[in-house]
Amino acid sequence: MKTRSSYSILNSIAITLFTSNCKGVVKMPRNELIDLARKATLIRKHIIEETFCAASGHPGGSLSCTDILTALYFREMRVNPANPSWKDRDRFVLSKGHCAPALYATLAEKGFFPAEDLTGFRSIDSYLEGHPNMTYVPGVDMSTGSLGQGISAAVGMAMAGKMDEKDYRVYAILGDGELEEGQVWEALMCAAHYKLDNLMAFLDHNGLQIDGKITDVMSPEPVADKFRAFGWKVILIDGHDYGQILGAIAEAKSGSGQPVMAVCSTVKGKGVSFMEHQAGWHGTAPNKEQRDQAHAELDAFLKAMEDEDNG
Amino acid sequence: MADKIATREAYGAALAEFGADPNLVVLDADLSKSTKTDTFKKKYPERFFNIGIAEGNMMSVAAGIASCGKTVFASTFAIFAALRACEQIRNSICYPKLNVKIGATHAGISVGEDGASHQAVEDVGVMRSIPNMTVLSPSDGPSTRLAVKAAIEHQGPVYLRLGRLAVPVIYNDAMLKDFSLGKGILLRDGKDLTIAATGLMVHEAIKAADMLAAEGVSARVLDFHTLKPIDRDLIIQAARETGRIVTAEEHNMYGGLGSAVAEILAENYPVPVRMVAIRDQFGKSGKPDRLIERYKLTAQSIVDNARMLLAAGRD
Ligand SMILES: Cc1ncc(C[n+]2csc(CCOP(=O)(O)OP(=O)(O)O)c2C)c(N)n1
Ligand SMILES: [Mg+2]
């Protein structure tokens, strides 16, 4: 019985959509996996609250990259919330800057600033700008929002790391619609040319952009082949499976002389039933009822994990 | 005949001169031979990176490198820096106020034969209107050297407007001892009118002042090597003491030095102004000196405009 219920939770964390080519899926003790899932759920609740309070913002893409952010900040990245500008820290660039709600929530959960501040998101008296701002927000390593530029900045950070012979690593998350920006490919070319194996990017491959399916608007497919042709090592994973995300990170750290792209199969709106797979939730905030329903779903998930922990 | 050196040449030499600083990084976009960053590259190859023909990427990469504590010079032609990569400069560099210095060479019509596609006539207007940006436009070799030094010392983005054409040396070391970012230079005092110039028009302004002196007109000459923040006090003082100002620049009449001077005067001390500038046109191919004549960016044109102001004053 116990095992079955565990699997049902795992299934709602990760819907494996294809076979990963990741070499080693990280196997975590069940309690650690649940800790991560709980963190991600809290972050998802913040995303709902931030966009609800602001009555604007981008919940869909924020929810789709939440598990990647959770794995990075709570299992991998060398950062110190008490010293956000620590020179030797790992860097993170949210190239798809519109998903600031997810980044801010992650940073708040990590302790960079109080979670209470999140409700000020996008308001005139808050430092939490609509898109990530490195000047005002502790923990934000690069100001982004204009698609295509963040990945170039991440390339610059990785170049600086190589120049200084530092061992910090640079991570970035790209949107799949963002791939339509030519600058992304300039940046990818540059990263491969300078053999930036201290750089790892995650493609949030949720298949949707503002106007609909990426394949209808302006297809960037086949993305994995293109990344390989641009000199990147490609790892295909499920972007909601912590074991696979961490496995890809571990593989990327082996330093092959190439930058690494984790093509993450994801669900836009992940975790909130009525937002999943809906382009309409790209840049629409939930109203009161929708927000309450989203919280109810996420709370039920938290409760199930708690029961399992106790059980 | 005074020595001549292009400001891009002085820029490359200055990068090499100040390049011992291990914190200095130089990027280029496949134009290092023309922008003269190759002078730095030869001396410090480990801190020079060719980003290829990808100016937008170069600006954002520069921002990323600068975010790790370095001072980054990113060079290409003014047209591809200020115009092609404008939004990257705005969002990746200026908004987070990163320490990136844009070495924009081949500004203006004096580019010559390459023609209008390669002649930035609007770059100052575009760069000047971005918050956090500082805009420098030195007039000769020695002042370019100090502009590069000032750009390195300044914390934050700088747009350095440089030319392709060899231009006369105006300054010696003594004349530049008070060189300071944001402060114009009084090159010649005068009481009847002021000629406010920048870039290669400073030399024309001096010639014009000589021509006017021969007619008994005393013209003050000011070099605005910093277009932003512009030296407000110097402009207001000139307006108060000389009553009329001719501006002179190798840039469109919109958005450049003429606009900057007029903005200060309109709010503080309105006096008549005439602008010697490109009259809202694109450039074209030709020998630089012929183009300068054609677009009326000459000492004679400054004199003509000064006469118009003086005549109006007598009515
Ligand atoms: C340069 C630029 N152009 C347009 C936009 C407006 N915009 C914001 S999000 C978005 C769609 C992004 O889609 P995708 O990258 O797939 O993001 P995700 O699905 O992960 O939210 C667009 C066009 C922008 N922010 N930047
Ligand atoms: Mg998408």
Residues 6+ apart with CB under 8 A from A296: none
Q: Looking at the partner chain, which of B54, B61, B95 has a beta carbon nearest the beta carbon of A156?
A: B61
Interface subset of A 42-81, CB within 8 angstroms of B: none
B55 is catalytic: yes
Chain B residues with CB under 8 Å of A143 CB are 91-92, 95-96
Instruction: Label residue B51 exposed, middle or buried (CB < 10 Å: 0-12, 13-18, 19+).
Output: buried
pTM: 0.94
To the nearest 5 percent, what fractions of chain A are helix, strand and coil?
Answer: 50, 10, 40
Chain B residues with CB under 8 Å of A201 CB are none
Separation CA B224–CA B247 (nearest Å): 10
Counting residues of chain A whose pLDDT is more than 90, the rounded percentage is 87
List the residue whose alpha carbon is closest to atom 9 of ligand 1: A98
Residues 6+ apart with CB under 8 A from B110: B163, B164, B165, B200, B250, B288, B291, B292
The answer to whether A201 touches A171, Cβ cutoff 8 Å, is yes
- C-alpha of residue B96 to centroid of ligand 1, in Å: 20
Q: Which of A99, A103, A151, A209 to mutate to test the pocket of ligand 1 (most atoms within 8 A of CB)?
A: A209
Chain B residues with CB under 8 Å of A148 CB are 56
Is domain A6-310 annotated with CATH 3.30.360.10?
Answer: no
Mean pLDDT rounded to a whole number for chain A: 93
List the residue whose alpha carbon is closest to atom 25 of ligand 1: A146
**Of B159, B136, B127, B125, nearest in space to B252 by CA:** B125
Please report the number of interchain residue pairs, chain A to chain B, with beta-carbon separation below 8 angstroms. 105
Cα of first residue to Cα of last residue in chain A, in angstroms, is 11
The answer to whether B33 touches B166, Cβ cutoff 8 Å, is no
Per annotation, catalytic residue among B9, B17, B46, B55:
B55
Question: What are the sequence ranges of the domains in chain A?
Answer: 6-310
| pLDDT of A16 higher than 50 | no
Contacts 24+ apart (CB under 8 A), A182-185: A182/A148, A182/B56, A183/A148, A183/A149, A183/A151, A183/A152, A183/B54, A183/B56, A183/B57, A183/B60, A183/B88, A184/A95, A184/A148, A184/A151, A185/A226, A185/A230
Tokens describing residue A189: 């070319």
Instruction: Label residue B132 exposed, middle or buried (CB < 10 Å: 0-12, 13-18, 19+).
Output: middle
pLDDT band at A5; cut points 50, 70, 90: very low
Q: Looking at the partner chain, which of B54, B56, B63 has a beta carbon nearest the beta carbon of A156?
A: B63
**Which DSSP string do the residues of chain B spell out, in sequence order?**
---EEEHHHHHHHHHHHHTTSTTEEEEESS-HHHHSTHHHHHH-GGGEEE--S-HHHHHHHHHHHHHTT-EEEEEEEHIIIIIITHHHIIIIIITTT--EEEEEESBSGGG-TT-GGG-BSSHHHHHHTSTT-EEE---SHHHHHHHHHHHHHSSS-EEEE--SSEEE----TGGGTT--TT--EEEE--SSEEEEE-TTHHHHHHHHHHHHHHTT--EEEEE-SEEES--HHHHHHHHHHHS-EEEEEEEESSSSHHHHHHHHHHHH----EEEEEE-S----SS-HHHHHHHTT-SHHHHHHHHHHHHHHHH-
**Which DSSP string do the residues of A1-42 spell out, in sequence order?**
-HHHHHHHHHHHH----S----S-PPP--HHHHHHHHHHHHH
Residues 6+ apart with CB under 8 A from B315: none
Counting residues of chain B whose pLDDT is more than 70, the rounded percentage is 98
Q: Looking at the partner chain, which of A141, A160, A182 has a beta carbon nearest the beta carbon of B65?
A: A160
Residues 6+ apart with CB under 8 A from A254: none
Phi and psi, residue B152, nearest 5°:
-65, -40
| pLDDT of A14 higher than 70 | no
Which pLDDT score, from 0 to 100, does residue B16 have?
98
Which pLDDT score, from 0 to 100, does residue A308 have?
81
**Ligand 1 binding pocket includes A50 (Cβ within 6 Å):** no
Instruction: Label residue B287 exposed, middle or buried (CB < 10 Å: 0-12, 13-18, 19+).
Output: exposed
- In A, minimum Cα distance to B50 occurs at A190
Interface subset of B 29-88, CB within 8 angstroms of A: 46-47, 49, 51-52, 54, 56-57, 59-70, 87-88
Q: Looking at the partner chain, which of A154, A163, A186 has a beta carbon nearest the beta carbon of B56?
A: A186
User: Which stretches of chain B score pLDDT less than 50?
Assistant: 1, 315
Residues 6+ apart with CB under 8 A from A21: A235, A236
**If you ran DSSP here, which 8-state letter would residue A75 be given?**
I
pLDDT digits (tens, 9 = 90+) for B8-42: 999 999 999 999 999 999 999 999 999 999 999 99
- In B, minimum Cα distance to A150 occurs at B60
**What are the residues facing A230 on neighbouring strands?**
none
| For residues A124-137, average pLDDT | 97
Which pLDDT score, from 0 to 100, does residue B238 have?
98
Residue B294, amino acid: R
pLDDT digits (tens, 9 = 90+) for A228-282: 999 999 999 999 999 999 999 999 999 889 999 999 999 999 999 999 999 999 9
Please count the CA atoms within 13 angstroms of the CA of B60 that sit on its side-chain side.
Answer: 32
Interface subset of B 123-142, CB within 8 angstroms of A: none
Specify whether the backbone of B30 is left (phi greater than 0), alpha (psi in -120 to 50) or beta.
left
| Partner B contacted by A87 (CB < 8 A) | yes
ipTM over 0.90: yes
pLDDT digits (tens, 9 = 90+) for A89-106: 999 999 999 999 999 999
Which pLDDT score, from 0 to 100, does residue B314 have?
59
Question: Which residue bears the tokens 């080519």?
Answer: A21
The answer to whether A148 touches A118, Cβ cutoff 8 Å, is no
| For residues A184-199, average pLDDT | 98
Residues 6+ apart with CB under 8 A from A11: none
Which pLDDT score, from 0 to 100, does residue A10 have?
44
Chain B residues with CB under 8 Å of A187 CB are 57, 60-61
Chain A residues with CB under 8 Å of B87 CB are 146
Check A161 against B68: CB less than 8 A apart. yes
Which pLDDT score, from 0 to 100, does residue A24 have?
79
